[in-house]
Amino acid sequence: MGKNMTGKTLYDKIWDAHLVSQREDGTALIYIDRHLIHEVTSPQAFEGLRIAGRRPWRAGANLAVPDHNIPTTKEERSQGLAGIKDPVSKIQVKTLDENCIEFNIFELKMNDLRQGIVHVVGPEQGATLPGMTIVCGDSHTSTHGALGALANGIGTSEVEHVLATQCLMQKKMKNMLVRVDGTLSVGVTAKDVVLAIIGEIGTAGGTGYTIEFAGESIQSLSIEGRMTVCNMAIEAGARAGLIAVDEKTLKYIKGRPFAPAGELWDRAANAWRELVSDTDASFDRTVELNGADIEPQVTWGTSPEMVASVNGSIPDPLAETDTIKRGNIEQALNYMGLNGGTPIKDIKLDCVFIGSCTNSRIEDLREAAQVVEGKQVADSVELAMVVPGSGLVKQQAEAEGLHKIFLSAGLEWREPGCSMCLAMNADQLGEGKHCASTSNRNFEGRQGFGGRTHLVSPAMAAAAAIYGHFVDIREINI
Amino acid sequence: MRKFTKEKGVVLPLDRANVDTDFIIPKQFLKSIKRSGFGVNLFDEHRYLDKGEPDVDNSNRPINKDFVLNLPRYKGSRVLLARDNFGCGSSREHAPWALDDYGFRVVIAPSYADIFFNNCFKNGLLPIVLNRDTVDQLFMEVEANEGYQLEIDLNTQKIIKPDDSHLEFSVDAFRKHCLLNGLDDIGLTLEDADAIKSFEANWQAQSPWYFSETETR
Ligand code: SF4
């Protein structure tokens, strides 16, 4: 069968539906349905509009929310803008407010109950819908692919471009399929699955591709779990990750504020059911993993691909024959203050962070709460904090009493925001400290100058808080 | 946008794979609402020995003398030679802004992260892909020869070495055209405003559920 006879992938379908025009060299103008905005990557874009005398093409396609810079303690948050101690951060949040007023853009302000991390808020509000093209000046925009939307991060020049034209100039990526089949063992979560995938293909494995995640293990995940997987597509090098629409997707979306209702819902739902790759679609690359083999994962280095099973050990650089790779391992271990050959379970933690757009949704918090319930954070752990992904997540968690479980176990319960995921606000990991973190990046200095990050699932982070070192979540009594 | 035709300058070898955008410009500097002034904080965590903060005088900070950017022989470099997957991590355009503000005009590496690669072109910075062996060879030549310079001619797509031999590189035709002429993407796209309007009208008729406008809530 000729190539043009094969079916379309999910990515092909969404791409084709949004194609406004295309140049001979393949550069395409793609229509953007939804643009999400936060305070860090937007000020220069609004400034660009102002200088050129331009207005947003379709103001109503935008949704803005501050998240990166804002304080997460109740005391500071209750004071509003005045509570932001860092004057530079304060100006940035204030600038977002002012730009949104000037350009008539809908903003969920810092103390709106619906405020939160932009990638938690989009799906929660129904602003993320299947089949949409979604962009945001933030690389973890890939998260929204969990709902069958084509979503990718962009730079600030492109933020300005989308505001001004409702389009982006892009070239089509190649198609990659990552299939994870088999049944996940109890205690193994979406986070472990995606870390295992990154361990397999590497942080540049998805460069140039849009990855579709499929297979039994992926289908078995909840929508929130799927968001965790797509969130980290970018850590595998892919700007966008996608998961086919199914009944779970529709159920998740129905009734959310910006989702269609009534007769429009029925029509939309019918159209969305088509958002799956055709059975005869061809992919440029396919990677297969067996979900049953995946164990809880822990990163030991300074790149998400530097990952091992909790029952494994840190690799010995001397065993690596490729000199560049050996150098990378040595550099990472030097920064992390760890030695090759050390069992992962021997890594001691000073800090635990449960939050970020990867793992701060209600299911993540339930998972963590279940582990710490009735227990105490280890004396050696200096700081353990839980930062819900949005005000609505926080409200729900409190309605379920999760905050009481965390507080009585000795964890802090904070206000929603990005917090120590990137430490742009006051929540910073100390120099040389080891942190079990549910976030997505373990780069040097990511969580604070000289800080040492280990990426794990919420359950694994919670267990590490109790024991003071990593433990296999499957071996402890919950 | 600034036009890019030819650039010549000292080559700085950054011998490290997977250099992420936090390495290029740490997050605390992203609090700025400006586009310029990031050059003094390029590679901040490696270049200085203390922790940098925005709006402080960098001239009094302790310098990491061992970091390649601080070696006198690489002073005033304009070409950055790097390893695989350069620019991975966050989408921050502050990374190319910082490189540009410092004075870099060209990056040469075997591979880049997609968003960073794309962001470079929007700022008149040329990211060149050369195969791993060629990059290895360049690293050796740069380290062996103090004051090693390369000249990059975008029009002919050639990199001219000090011995007058040259390397060829490929670049997307449309991006080349935009760089050579310093074209602003938004202006170009708005030439197609009618096509966008008619697409939008059809799309709205076909999929009205995507047009639930946020401003009305
Ligand atoms: S939580 Fe972390 S990764 Fe997510 S948007 Fe915020 S800073 Fe970025």
Residues of A in contact with B32 (CB under 8 A): 88, 92
CA-angle at A384, arms to A379 and A388, nearest 5°: 160
A228 C-beta closer than 6 A to ligand 1:
no
Buried residues in B49-58 as b, exposed as e (16+ CB within 10 A): eebbbbeeee
Yes or no, beta carbons of B90 and A138 under 8 Å apart:
yes
Which residue pairs, CB below 8 angstroms and at least 24 apart, start in B145-149?
B146/B73, B147/B10, B147/B73, B148/B10, B148/B11, B149/B8, B149/B9, B149/B10, B149/B11, B149/B79
| Residue count of chain B | 217
- In this complex, the residue of A139, A303, A331 whose CB is nearest that of residue B115 is A139
Q: What are phi and psi of A128, to 5 degrees?
A: -100, 120
Q: What is the pLDDT of residues B117-154, one digit of tens each?
A: 999 999 999 999 999 999 999 999 999 999 999 999 99
3-state SS assignment for residue A71:
coil
Q: Which residue of A has its CA nearest to B95?
A: A155
pLDDT band at B55 (very low <50, low <70, confident <90, very high): confident
CA-nearest residue for atom 1, ligand 1, is: A356
Beta strands in A9-104 (DSSP E): 19-22, 28-31, 34-37, 62-64
A207 touches chain B (CB under 8 A): yes
pLDDT band at A4 (very low <50, low <70, confident <90, very high): low
DSSP run (H or E) holding B193: helix B193-206
pLDDT of residue A1: 41
- The ipTM is 0.94
User: What are the tokens at B30?
Assistant: 């992203």
Pocket test for ligand 1, best of A39, A119, A364, A387 (most atoms within 8 A of CB): A119
Yes or no, beta carbons of A264 and B208 under 8 Å apart:
yes
Helical axes B114-121 vs B173-181, angle rounded to 10°: 40
- In this complex, the residue of B20, B196, B212 whose CB is nearest that of residue A167 is B196
Torsional sign, CA B133, B134, B135, B139:
positive
3-state SS assignment for residue A137:
coil
Residues of A in contact with B186 (CB under 8 A): 52, 54, 160-161, 164-165
pLDDT band at A163 (very low <50, low <70, confident <90, very high): very high
Residues of A in contact with B82 (CB under 8 A): none
CA-angle at A139, arms to B13 and A101, nearest 5°: 120
User: What are the tokens at B19?
Assistant: 């250099």
CA-angle at A35, arms to A41 and A152, nearest 5°: 75
Pocket test for ligand 1, best of A357, A390, A443 (most atoms within 8 A of CB): A357
Partners of A32 in the β-ladder = none
**Rounded to whole angstroms, how far apart are CA atoms B51 and A444?**
13
* CATH number of the B6-181 domain: 3.20.19.10
Q: What is the pLDDT of residues A98-132, one digit of tens each?
A: 999 999 999 999 999 999 999 999 999 999 999 99
In chain B, what are the domain boundaries?
A: 6-181, 184-217
pLDDT of residue B217: 44
% residues pLDDT > 70 (chain A): 99
Beta strands in A95-199 (DSSP E): 133-136, 150-153, 167-170, 174-181
Torsional sign, CA A165, A169, A172, A173:
negative
When the pLDDT of each residue in chain A is averaged and rounded to a whole number, the result is 96
Q: What is the pLDDT of residues A78-96, one digit of tens each?
A: 999 999 999 999 999 999 9
User: What are the tokens at A332?
Assistant: 């990472």
Partners of B201 in the β-ladder = none
Q: What is the pLDDT of residues B65-83, one digit of tens each?
A: 999 999 999 999 999 999 9
For residues A164, A166, A171, A172, the Cα torsion angle rounded to the nearest 10 degrees is: 160
pLDDT of residue A25: 86
Please compute the mean of the pLDDT values over residues A345-359 and round it to a whole number. Answer: 98
Rounded to two decimals, what is the model's pTM? 0.95
Please compute the mean of the pLDDT values over residues A244-260 and round it to a whole number. Answer: 97
Report whether pLDDT(B10) > 50: yes
Q: Which residue of B has its CA nearest to A266?
A: B209
Yes or no, beta carbons of A139 and B196 under 8 Å apart:
no
3-state SS assignment for residue B108:
strand
Report whether pLDDT(A477) > 80: no
Residues of A in contact with B118 (CB under 8 A): 155, 158
**Rounded to whole angstroms, how far apart are CA atoms A52 and A59?**
17
A227 C-beta closer than 6 A to ligand 1:
no
CA B198 to mean position of chain CA atoms: 35
A70 C-beta closer than 6 A to ligand 1:
no
